[in-house]
Structure 1
Amino acid sequence: MSKYIITSALPYAEGVPHLGNFVGSILPADVFYKYIDMKGEDAIFICGSDQHGTPIEIQAIKKGITPKELAESVHEKIKEAMARFECTFTYYGKTDSEKNKETVYWLFDKLYKNGFIVEVTDIQPYCNTDKLFLADTFIEGTCPFCGYEKARGDQCENCGHLLNPTDLIKPHCRICGGTDISFKETKNLAIDLKKLQPEIKDFIDDRKGNNWSITAINKPLSYLEQGLKPRDITRNIDWGFDVPMEGFKDKKFYVWFDAVIGYIGITREWDEGKWEQYWKSKDTKLIEFMGKDNIEFHTMMWPGILIGSMDNLVLPYTIKAYEYLTARGLKFSKSNGIGMNVENSLGVMDPDYLRFALIYRLPETSDADFSIDLLLEVVDKIMNDKIGNFVNRVLTIAKSNSEHIGRIEMSKDYGSKIKSIIEKYKSDFESISLREALHDLIDLAEEGNSLISGSEPWKMKKDLSDTEVKNRFSEVMGNLIYTVYAIGVLSYPFTPKASGDILDYFGISGKPKLGLLDAGINLDYSKEVKPIFKKATKEQIEKLKMFSD
């Protein structure tokens, strides 16, 4: 039996993630994990806060606190927000933990002894005003590839290109804002990706058919064609893990290095006795979700670490990278204050509505704009009108006519249609086409709405003394009630609260399993029927306007 490790790119503890971060990594990972759990698979969902790096240093300096204080404070806020969003991590940890530090040192030692750590001489920016070397994210300038004016020295947030500080046009120091910058030589340690290139290419060629995003395939292949180079794993910074090697003890490990290793470190933090059962099992499938700006780290550097350790660690099976969710035509950005974050959005709407709308707009193959108008349309016309109203109408009719409803089961023709939709739902989940799976759920409601409109069971109520009409009424209601039941089961990955509310009418509590679809159905006709979804209120609309132009 397969095991699954499901991971999401770790949210950076500089600030609470915005909705673009959330929909590009944690939310689809959570939706997929919930489906895998419904299947009854042996799976763990591992995530945590990425707590090191210079952006945290910069924010801490501005706030007059230590980087650790900031990282811990934001970590707790992220944990709370994710819990409110009903994310069901097996464990949500952090990278600045003793267990992750131990894991980083262990893998560094493995890589060094195996000959994959090399010493390099870098040209690193030095701020003549602040009298210090600038880590890559302490320097900012214009991207030479796309012209974005706030690109960092390690990567352009806008186009995703990996950069070196010397690539930037018109660079300036992010601490003092000055442009009096020199470039000086300094020694660092690097992972020798050039030496690992053949194995990394084999890894990509072997795995890219396993539902990888097209971008996750094309980007690394492009870099491989150019030829990989050693990638620094140390920097002249103050916040991070010390480098345990003579000649480099004044440096720290680069944040990307301990962040990707954090997947293992956080698993060890969860259960030291079980982590190897997942990370060293040939039966394990490692499924990783991320935004497209994380592709390079997860398709080249991270596999390079795992391969270079020579310790039979599991390599990624599927890399699902999403495009950007944009707001007002721009990418959501914590630093630029664009778009709603996960905290303030929960102050406007319940998580089910946001989860549904975000997956409905999931940027699987191209950037997708997420507007307030779109959110309201999804909430009012799809969640409320198509799904909520259908569930409410069926349960209300069933409650007032329970004595005329026999065994709850589907007729052959109608059942064939519903089972076909359910099979497509499963198939779409297996291929990690989450937006399509959500549309399958909507299709179930539409099929039910079509039946209820065509059969008009409220009219049949008048002639239930007629045996033929009574049998037809019972058959129609059996079809409709099963459809409501199936929506209750299959909505769990997307809208866990609504799923629980629906299944409560059938006497089912806790996390549902797919096997329930083949079980006998018992509807509790005595329960009061309440709305599953509602339209957005005037108060909610007014709150949403705070985030519009």
Structure 2
Amino acid sequence: MSTSTSIEVFGSRGSSLISLVNNLKLSIALAVYRPDVNIQIQIPESADDEIKGKDKSVLLRDKKTGFELVEVNAIVKYLANDFTNNEFLQFEESRLHKALLTNQKKALLVEALSNTPRPAVPLLSDKMDSAPNPTQIILFAALYPVYNGLSEAPTWFQELGKNPKISSSLPGVAKLERPKEKNTGAQKLTKNHLVKKQADRIVPKPDERNILITSALPYVNNVPHLGNIVGSVLSADIYARYAKNRNYNAIYICGTDEYGTATETKALEDGVTPQQLCDKYHKIHKEVYDWFDIGFDYFGRTTTPTQTEIAQDIFTKLYNNGYLEEKTTEQLYCEHHNSFLADRFVEGTCPKCAYEDARGDQCDKCGQLLDPLDLIEPRCKVDGTKPVVKPSTHIYLKLNELEEPLKKWVDLSSEKGAWSKNSKTITNSWIKQGLEPRCITRDLKWGTPVPLPGYENKVLYVWFDATIGYVSITANYFKGIQQEEKRGKGEGEGEGEGEGSTEYWKQWWRNPENVDLYQFMGKDNVPFHTVVFPATEIGTGDNWTKLHHLSTTEYLQYEGGKFSKSRGIGVFGNNAKQTGVASSVWRYYLASNRPETSDAHFSWDDFVTKNNSELLANLGNFVNRIVKFAIAKYNGVLPKYDTRNIPNYEGGFVSEINSLLSTYIANMEAVNLRKGLETAMLISSRGNQFLQENKLDNSLYNNFPEKSDAVVVTALNLVYLVGAVISPFMPEIANKINEMLNAPALSITDEFVPVLQPGHHIGKAQYLFTRIDEKKVEEWRKLYGGQKKTEA
């Protein structure tokens, strides 16, 4: 403000449309009539007023006389020293602007504009470079939000805009620039809506939902391929992350299955000891799962003293309870290396489907469980020679005597736990055929020793032993915690640690009243988890936590064929990393293609399309667009807002989001993971639609600020929700979204709640995804052995 005048003119501090129009009137009037006076913005009386955005009306004040005016049109006339009344000002500005703010483009807006004066050319001054009169300024500024930039704007409006006295004053105010919010720091969010911090030692809690989650223990003699990953560890991880996001008390246990024939065979082929082989592949598996962002609470292994202790205890209880028996049977014996051949040391032609590479225990083609003696033209896997038949004595689990209690449990658990359809079918087919005693020992050196005299050269059968691995790995999880605690206190790792940890694992595995067990696996593992393992638990007489929900998958095929490590066909865990495509994209693709009810097929074309058309164009676009807009226009600070400025907010938008959220939760609770992901992406799509239908852009921000404020805050809160619902599937992307929003992880609530409130400031924008060049498809297809399918 110049010191040569006693007049002060204050504009409105508010961000409403009326406030901005009033400031425009004052700015033009001062530029035309009193260029020696600058418009000012009134300073709030207190810092609290500033934070709360308390508005103040316009004001003209003469410091010498104390004269004041607070009505904007009167101030314009005062500055022009022209108080002539004009019929053209007889219309309702507030009604016109209300029509604009509520986006009522028809009835109300038409009615308002129909009452708007249309001045004839004679109203203008004779010379265009002369000063406009007050009526022209008031009318022009009032209708500026309506007509600015429109080619169909009335001639009189366009001509006034060309007037040098008006156009010269517009550059600083023509866009109706709004003052940006002041960054006052991140808002403290209500803890009720956030994900709780995970305990260092996860134990069941009273009055909470306690969920024990396991995935089939991956066998340690090879690198897992995509089908292995999605069929067990990834599926379990998605559900575990969902459960923890919902603030259930959940623990996810897994590890490598290391005993058995396959390990011993592979060790012979590689010229190493079984232990060396297990050490090598345990590390490989852990590295693969770490890259895929699999969030185990503990990833252990079965070759531990704890495994031996617990497995032998279970075996002994079954023996003492009369559920084990000795049988001498004929078994294949290799005279070339003088050894009985365990199931997987034998290969041959399947008697069921004539597959030539069937194993002694199971045919990979038809899925039937086999006896090695049933194979046609059997051969020793080690040296290829034809084995002979010799008698051998083994221990059998009397499943026939456990059939009735097992059947009752299956009927109850499969219904209550809503097992997947294929797991029910497979289990019922076993029971329907009638259960027979099943051998649980093998002629091997590499395995859990059989705790009976005379069985020093035999071990427990890997499929009896492996399921007990879930229990021993849980116990080792607690042992590991106790060891860390002892080291932290400067104590040794001596005696006493085992018993305490044993009590902790029992809280999970001997607590069926308070713990639900969720297990994830491919369909070929089902009978061992629904028949052999629960029958074993029943036979011990202990109060075991048994299976509640079983989620199984069919097979994932690779480009129309099977994954084959030996033939170099298919994508294996380490190959995914080598492509340079982020693990989040791989997780998304596998989850969206999860073979839940039928076999699914990996396709490079589909992989690239899902990244470019779904992740990038849908989710990435929604988050990037609103975050960048909020940073550019609002200084990254959420403004005050009123959702009543959003058309059909409660009955339309919120209702749709809550319906989608309800569908998402229902699918995730039922472990329909693929449908859950589809619904999460639909919520993101609704966010894009929300921005489109409300036309979020510079014009909305400048001309309809109340609506813009409400749209921005609502959209950012929807981004927060989208981050939560995709977090089980793409945790790294959810983390990036939370970083952008400068907010901790949001819990998935039953209804859409705008947790981020005015005053909260967000962080920097980040790109969530990058486009994949379609040319990479043929490169990858060639590299990993797939063949492009041709049209029939």
TM-score of the pair, normalised by structure 1: 0.94
In structure 2, which of residues 421, 437, 441 is the aligned counterpart of residue 230 of structure 1? 437
Which residue of structure 1 aligns with residue 327 of structure 2? 120
Q: 1:115 to 1:158 in 2, by over 3 A?
A: same
Distance 1:124 1:350 in 2: 49
Q: Distance in 2 between matches of 1:176 and 1:407?
A: 77
Q: What is residue 372 of structure 1 aligned with on the other side? A: 604
Q: How does 1:115-154 map to 2 (within 5 A)?
A: 115-154=322-361
**CA distance change for structure 1 residues 223 and 161 in 2, over 3 Å: closer, same or farther?**
same
Question: How far did residue 208 of structure 1 move?
Answer: 1.1
Q: 1:186 aligns with which of 378, 392, 417?
A: 392
Provide Cα deviations, 1:105-142, integer angstroms capped at 9, x if missing partner. 11011111111111122221112333321110011122
| Aligned-partner Cα distance in 2 for 1:163–1:465 | 74
Question: For residue 342 of structure 1, what is the amino acid of its counterpart?
Answer: G
Could you tell me which of 269, 275, 298 is aligned with 1:62? Answer: 269
**Hey, what does 1:474 align to over in structure 2?**
709
Q: Is the 8 A contact 2:348 2:359 kept in 1?
A: yes
In structure 2, distance between residues paired with 1:539 and 1:47: 38
> Offset at 1:540?
5.7
| Cα shift at 1:451 | 2.3
Residues 211 and 320 of structure 1 are in contact (CA less than 8 Å); yes or no, is this contact kept in structure 2?
no
Post-superposition Cα deviations, 1:61-85, rounded to whole Å, max 9, x if no partner, equal 1211101110111011111221221
Matched, 1:386 2:618: yes
* 1:546 matched to 2:783: yes
Q: Please name the residue that 2:471 is paired with.
A: 264
SS in 1 for 2:255: strand
**1:327 matches 2:558:** yes
Q: Which amino acid in 1 is paired with 2:272?
A: I
Judging changes above 3 Å, is the alpha-carbon distance between structure 1 residues 530 and 408 closer, same or farther for their aligned structure 2 residues?
farther
In the aligned structure 2, how far is the partner of 1:10 from the partner of 1:383? 31
- Give the Å deviation of 1:207: 1.1
Aligned to 1:444: 683
Paired AA for residue 456 in structure 2: K
Q: Cα gap change, 1:376/1:355 in structure 2, threshold over 3 Å: closer, same or farther?
A: same
| Greater Cα radius of gyration, structure 1 or 2 | 2
Alpha-carbon offset, residue 478 of structure 1 = 3.1
Q: Conserved in 2, the CA contact under 8 Å of 1:408 and 1:482?
A: no
Q: Which amino acid aligns with 1:518?
A: V
Which position in structure 1 is the counterpart of 2:304? 97
Indicate whether 1:279 and 2:509 are aligned.
yes
| AA of the residue aligned to 2:602 | F
Q: Does 1:352 align with 2:584?
A: yes
User: Quick one: structure 1 residues 199 and 18, their matched pair in 2 at CA, closer, same or farther if it must change by over 3 Å?
Assistant: same
What is the rounded CA distance, in whole Å, between the counterparts of 1:244 and 1:325 in structure 2?
40
CA deviations 1:269-307 (Å, max 9, x no partner) are 111141111111111101000000101111110111111
* Contact map agreement 1:352 1:495 (CA 8 A) in 2: yes
- The answer as to 2:724 corresponding to 1:489 is yes
Residue in structure 2 matched with residue 505 of structure 1 by the alignment = 740
1:531 to 767, 783, 788: 767
CA contact (8 A) 1:121 1:188 kept: yes
Q: Between 370-379 and 146-155, report the one with greater CA deviation.
A: 146-155
> What does residue 455 of structure 2 align with?
248
Distance 1:70-1:463 versus aligned 2 partners, 3 A rule: closer
Letter in 2 for 1:484: V
State the alpha-carbon separation in 1 of the partners of residues 388 and 320 from structure 2.
Answer: 35
Match of 1:309 in 2: 540
Structure-1 separation of matches of 2:468 and 2:583 = 30
Aligned with residue 410 of structure 2, among 200, 204, 212: 204
1: CA distance, partners of 2:746 / 2:307: 34
Structure 1 residue 463: deviation in Å? 5.5
1:222-277 per-residue CA deviation (whole Å, 9 max, x = no partner) reads 12111111111111112112112112111111111110000111111111141111
- Using the TM superposition, give the Cα deviation of residue 537 of structure 1 relative to its aligned residue in structure 2, in angstroms: 4.4
Q: Secondary structure at the match of 1:457?
A: coil
Deviation of 1:159 (Å): 2.6
Unaligned stretches of 5+ residues in structure 1 = none
Q: Deviations over 1:186-215 (max 9, x none)?
A: 110011111111111111111112221111
CA distance in 2, matches of 1:513, 1:137: 47
- State the shift of 1:145 in Å: 2.5
Give the Cα–Cα distance (whole angstroms) in 2 for the partners of residues 373 and 391 of structure 1. Answer: 25
Unaligned runs of 5+ in 2: 1-207, 479-500, 788-792
Aligned-residue Cα RMSD (Å) equals 2.0
Instruction: Establish whether residue 462 from structure 1 lines up as the match of residue 699 from structure 2.
Output: yes
Match of 1:162 in 2: 369
Find the partner of 1:361 among 584, 590, 593: 593
Q: Which residue of 1 aligns with 2:574?
A: 343
Q: Structure 1 463/320 Cα, relative in aligned 2: closer, same or farther at 3 Å?
A: closer
Change in Cα spacing, 1:421 to 1:544, as seen in structure 2 (3 Å) is same
**Count of residues in Structure 1 that have an aligned counterpart in Structure 2:** 543
SS of 1:401 mapped into structure 2? helix
CA contact (8 A) 2:667 2:673 kept: yes
Instruction: Give the alignment's TM-score, normalised by structure 2.
Output: 0.66
* Bigger Cα displacement from structure 2, 478-487 vs 365-374: 478-487
Q: Tell me which moved more, 311-320 or 333-342.
A: 333-342
Q: Which amino acid aligns with 1:473?
A: S
Q: Distance in 2 between matches of 1:387 and 1:421?
A: 16
Quote the Cα distance in structure 2 between the aligned partners of 1:314 and 1:226: 26
SS at match of 2:348: strand
Instruction: Indicate how the Cα distance of structure 1 residues 138 and 335 shifts in structure 2: closer, same or farther if over 3 A, else same.
Output: farther
CA contact (8 A) 1:402 1:525 kept: no
Deviates more, 1:37-46 or 1:524-533: 524-533
2:247 alignment counterpart: 40
1:433 equivalent among 639, 647, 672: 672
- Residue 108 of structure 2 corresponds to residue 108 of structure 1: no
Q: Is the 8 A contact 2:316 2:451 kept in 1?
A: no
Secondary structure (helix, strand or coil) at the match of 2:406 reads: helix
- Against the structure 1 CA distance between its residues 205 and 357, is the aligned structure 2 distance closer, same or farther, given a 3 Å change threshold? same
- Read off the aligned partner of 1:462 and give its amino acid letter: S
The amino acid that maps onto 1:315 is K
- How far 1:416 moved relative to its partner? 1.3
Write the distance in 1 (CA, Å) between the matches of 2:256 and 2:210. 24
Deviations 1:428-470 (A, max 9, x none): 1111100000001110121122222333212xx225454xx22
What is the CA distance between 1:419 and its match in structure 2? 1.5
Residue type matched to 1:300 in 2? Answer: V
Deviation at 1:479, TM superposition (A): 3.2
Structure 2 partner of 1:422: 661
Say if 1:464 and 1:262 are closer, same or farther in 2 by CA, change over 3 A: closer
Query: Deviations for 1:492-545, whole angstroms, at most 9, x for unmatched residues?
Result: 100011001011122224x54225963621586663322111122479653464
Residue 330 of structure 1: SS of its match in structure 2? Answer: coil
